[in-house]
Amino acid sequence: MPRGIRIYGKKRGHRRTGSSKLGVAGEAAFFATLLVAGAGVLAALLYGIVLPEWRANHEFVEHTCVVLDKRLAERENHEDKLYRPEVKIRYGINGRSFTAWTYDIATATNAANSYSAEREEAAAVLDQFARGEEYRCWYDPTQPEVVVLVRGYRWWVWPVLALPLLFVLFGAGGVLFSLLRWNTSAERRAIISRRAAGRELLAGNGHAATEFPTVPEGSDITNSPGTMLRYRLPIGTSPGWALFGILLACLGWNGVVGVFLMWVVNGHLSGDPDWILTVFLAPFVLVGILLIAVLIRQLLLATALGPTQVELSDHPLHPGGRYEVFISQPGRLPLDELQVQLHCEERATYREGTNTRTEARGVYAERLYRGERLTVGRATPFQARCEFVVPVGAMHSFRSEHNSVTWRLVVEGRVAGWPKYRRDYPVIVYPQEQNGGHE
């Protein structure tokens, strides 16, 4: 059915997206405001500063003059004083005599930016001129009373120009992008952005060219050969990073709490205890101790259990395919339990207000191996092999901007007296091999 501009877009679950046309109009208005503001400031700077300087350098006529007088001009600026050098000169053009207080083009045109807070600098300029001496000057052929003693460009003009120029570029780019969106369908934009990104370039017949679009490449999974099987799988998230995170949290928390704790302890030692602060600080100290305990536990776990080595007989995986897994776990502590599982998980990222949230949901889990009361040693790691079949009809690995389906081998272990530890090893599942046709 025909459609005009909608105030609200479609409702998705409990969330309602805004109208795309209204959103684009809002974006266009925002970028247009930036463009106009930037262009206005840029035009003012060009007209007020750059153009006069450029004219003085390129169009003013060289001449000679006699210095009659000089002075340090002052101007109040709130509570400060600003200064500029002024030199009174006399010069003649076609039999007509002119006198003017001048120095550079900013002074000659009495621009507000001709003053500065640098008194010594202005005085030093005046020292270069002596009364009664003859100097070169440049006058404006269209207004002979406008004359300068120096030419050139002030360096600070260019960085100042950069800011409005950025506004103009950003605004113009945004307006163009919004116009493109206004007149372009989501499908056409998708094609244009894919071409711009250089991904999955369309073949000559207008079709996407990648063999398995949306299936992650997974080349990092197969770049390390195994000792027993073909590939050694890289770990998804290194336990070292978790340890580093806990260390940072521990240092940060206890650093702040430690300062207050020293204050309280000193009060108690000097016989002037602050009981309110002592009671208030107690729970914070307890949390700090808890963090230290967690850190020590993670440290012990990391040192007591070496890296888990997981090897796979082939990769990528295919539904219906049979594969072998080899697992090797070195360490110093006996394992109460060790499990290897094949997991498949959906992940969805969405915005809720200003927050971006990710929800994960397991859709397949199969235990491939389970061992109990296992002896582990540094020199003699625990080793096991097992086979598994990727279920027929399983979804292939999938990744788009906000959604994914990920497969992984998960190793979970439990050391006596310690909570479970878990290590993930991502794998890629390709779609089931089929012949072209239809069902």
Partner 1 sequence: MSRPAVVIRFDQDVVAYLPGAILAGSFWLRGVTTDEVKAVETSVLWYTEGKGEEDMAVHAFWRTSAEAGEWIAPNRAHRFETTLPQTPLSYSGAILKVRWCVRVRAFLQGGREIIGQRGFQLGSLPAVESVEP
Beta carbon nearer to partner 1, 312 or 410: 410
Q: Which of 7, 207, 271, 375 binds partner 1 (CB under 8 A)?
A: 207
Q: Please report how close the Cβ of residue 240 comes to partner 1 at its closest, in angstroms.
A: 24
Please state at what angle helix 239-269 crosses helix 275-304, rounded to 10 degrees: 150
- CA–chain centroid gap for 412, Å, is 35
**Rounded Cα distance, 278 and 255, in Å:** 17
3-class secondary-structure state, position 343: strand
Beta carbon nearer to partner 1, 146 or 405: 405
Residue 281 β-bridge partners: none
Beta carbon nearer to partner 1, 336 or 345: 345
Neighbours of 82 (CB within 10 A): 17
437: contact with partner 1 by CB under 8 A: yes
237: contact with partner 1 by CB under 8 A: no
363: contact with partner 1 by CB under 8 A: yes
Contact at 8 Å (CB) between 384 and 376?
Answer: no
361: contact with partner 1 by CB under 8 A: yes
35: contact with partner 1 by CB under 8 A: no
Neighbours of 386 (CB within 10 A): 15
User: Closest by alpha carbon to 310, among 240, 406, 227, 216?
Assistant: 227
Q: Which of 256, 282, 348, 416 binds partner 1 (CB under 8 A)?
A: 348
Q: Which stretch binds partner 1 (CB under 8 A): 129-137, 147-155, 157-165, 360-368?
A: 360-368
Strands 309-312 and 231-232, sheet pairing: antiparallel
Q: Which of 79, 271, 401, 417 binds partner 1 (CB under 8 A)?
A: 401
4: contact with partner 1 by CB under 8 A: yes
**Rounded Cα distance, 322 and 315, in Å:** 11
> Among residue numbers 179 through 198, which ones bind partner 1 (CB under 8 A)?
185-188, 190-191, 194
436: contact with partner 1 by CB under 8 A: yes
Amino acid at the residue 178: S
Q: Which of 30, 101, 212, 418 binds partner 1 (CB under 8 A)?
A: 212
**Rounded Cα distance, 215 and 400, in Å:** 9
114 DSSP assignment? G
159: contact with partner 1 by CB under 8 A: no
| Site residues (vs partner 1, CB under 8 A) | 1-4, 12-13, 185-188, 190-191, 194, 202, 206-208, 210-215, 341, 343, 346-351, 359, 361-365, 393-396, 398, 400-403, 405, 410, 431, 434-439
